[in-house]
Structure formats: C-alpha cells, structure tokens
Amino acid sequence: MFVAAAATQAVFAKPAFMMYFDQWHTTTLPDRSVTAGVNYVITAFAQSDIFNSGTCGFGVGAATEASRATFARNVAQTLDNLGYDCVDIDWEYPGGNGEDYKQKPNDQKVQEIETYPLLLQAIKAAIGKKELSIAVPGRLEDMIAFTAEKVPLINETVDHVNVMTYDLMNRRISTTEHHTSIKGSLSSIDTYIQRGMSPSKLILGFAFYAKWFTTQPGVQCTTPTGCATAVLEGADGNDTGLSGAVTFEVANYNADLAFADAMEKGRTDAEAGGMWYWDAGEGMYWTWDSAELIARKFQEVVAARGLGGVMAWSLAQDSHDWSHLKAMQAGVAGMQ
C-alpha cells in the first residue's frame, strides 16, 4: 500500500501528532477542538489498483536499481502533482509474513531484506526536503527486514518510523494475547532501539478499534491472556471468520451488542497494561486500548523512551466519544 501524507500545521513540528485518515471512514468527523494539535494527517490511501490489492508491487519496485529509480521518481512526481508535503510508505511486512505468506513463503522474499532500505534511500533522494515516514510492524516475528544490520541504514534515511504497536495478537496465534498493551509496546519499541533506530524518530502507534477472537470450546477464560483459541486461520492462510475487529465508532456501540457489552464490562490487566474481556456466552475474547491506558503509555513508553511522537489508525474510527483521540491530545500537550 502507498500512502500520501500532508503536514498540516508546522513542518518538522515536535512532538509529532499523526493521524491516519482512511478512505473508508469519512462520514462522522471530530470538530477542531478535538483535532487541535494534530500536525500530520496521513491520507490513506493513494488510489492504486496495484498497491491497494496487496504488497507485491513494493517487492517488484524495490528489486533492481532501475526499478527503484522509476518507483522513486513516480513517488516524487505524485507528491508534486498533488501538493503533498511528505509520503508514508506502508509496506509493513518487507521480507515476509504478509497476507500472502502461504502463497509466497518468506524464503521467496529474502531479497527484500536487502532491497527495502535501498528503495527508501531512492525515494528520499527523489523527494529531497520532503519528509519520508514508514509504517513498521510491532510484532517481533514480523520484523524480518528490520535486522541489526539494516536498521541503521533505514534510520539514516527516514524522518519518522510509525510503529504499529497494535495487532500484536492476530489470527496466526493460538492463545489469547493483548492486541495492544504497555508491555507489548515497550517490547516493540525497545527492539527497534536496540537494533539502531533513533528514539526521536520512533512514533508510538494506537488503534481506534478492539479485536475479538473466538476461544476454544470448553475453555474457561479467567485470566487476561493465555486462553486457547479456536482455529482462526485455515491451512491455506485464509481467515476462518472466527476473529475480527470492531472500531470505536458510534454506530458500533448501537448495533453490535457483543462489542458494547465488552466495552461496558471490560477489565484492566494492570500488569501488562491492556484491556480485556471474555464473553462466556459467545466464547469471544476481546482486547483493546482505553483512554486511561493511553495516558499511561505516554508516561511509561513515550516519555520513558524519549520517542518523537504518536500516531493512530484511524481518525474517524473513534467517533463514539472521541475519548481515545482526546487522551492522545492531552498526552501530546503534556510533552511540550
């Protein structure tokens, strides 16, 4: 996926307060009092039949010096044509573990570990003073291209590294875990720092949605994590339909009774710093972030590690009461 980005108030403003604004959620939007302080809006996604139908196009574009030059030139021209200030590359999983990992195993993507930083270098050279950000995985298992050898090269090239410290639990995992938490966020951030990423370039990610996972029949899920799940992914890598995500949109609180029930009865795992709820009747494990835990993340992750800012996916998904966005707004204000 290819994302064009716009800096909305002050270029190179610190701390960075980034909001992804996706094309699927545009109806109910916050007023200016709620978005005050946001200095980067990342419009997701630039229209492309190639890049929005998977990530194979990135691998092709990165493959050779000639293809990288063409790719970078096209990015720079697009920024100029549309008047954008910066660009966010949302490859997410160079080197493997993407949506197609069963169809194209990781051993067929090894070359992307080498070509990913080269593609970023070509893009940065082509766009000049305009900023370059990247969206990167939060799970250690997915940081295939972000080795101790390659991270310093990436760090030298990009302006911001948007760490997806969410979706840490997915359908490939067979026991329940928090999809986002303080403990999980620290693990992700510390790994990037240890491998050579500058803390000031790291952007902590927040998700404006909860995730749910069906638990194994007969399981009594009485602890925050560690319950056996049902089979969430088929042998071919396809979704079995036994897990999913629900955004914090006002419509979902009104229409999805299981979700609303989880939000009302959720429990805090104080040690790990994550919200959870097990619906015994439906056999569903829910995991999400609260406004209170967002505030803790600013202290225990952002400030503690000296990070450059925060971002969220995505703006209009918090329309129930904007409490997550407001918590981020307060946290950023406290950084200044």
Question: Which are the contacts of 92, defined by CB distance < 8 A and separation ≥ 6?
Answer: 1, 55, 98, 135, 136, 137, 164
Cβ 188 vs Cβ 180: under 8 Å: no
Q: Which residues contact 52 (CB under 8 A, 6 or more apart)?
A: 1, 2, 45
- Whole-Å CA distances, 250 to 25, 246, 247, 330: 12, 11, 9, 22
Q: Is 82 exposed, middle or buried (0-12, 13-18, 19+ CB in 10 A)?
A: exposed
Q: Which of 202, 204, 1 is nearest to 90 (CA)?
A: 1
The candidate with the shortest Cα–Cα distance to 308, out of 101, 183, 153, 162, is 162
* Residue found by looking up tokens 């429990």 in the block: 267
Model's pTM, two decimal places?
0.96
For residue 3, the cross-strand partners are 88
Closest by CA position to 179, among listed 308, 83, 285, 309: 285
Q: How many angstroms separate the CA atoms of 305 and 323, rounded? A: 24
Report d(CA 212, CA 189) in Å as an integer: 24
pLDDT tens per residue across all 336 residues of the chain: 556 665 544 444 589 999 999 999 999 999 999 999 999 999 998 777 766 666 688 999 999 999 999 999 999 999 999 999 999 999 999 999 999 999 999 999 999 999 999 999 999 999 999 999 999 999 999 999 999 999 999 999 999 999 999 999 999 999 999 999 999 999 999 999 999 999 999 999 999 999 999 999 999 999 999 999 999 999 999 999 999 999 999 999 999 999 999 999 999 999 999 999 999 999 999 999 999 999 999 999 999 999 999 999 999 999 999 999 999 999 999 998
| CA-atom Rg of the chain in angstroms | 19
CATH of domain 16-207+289-334: 3.20.20.80
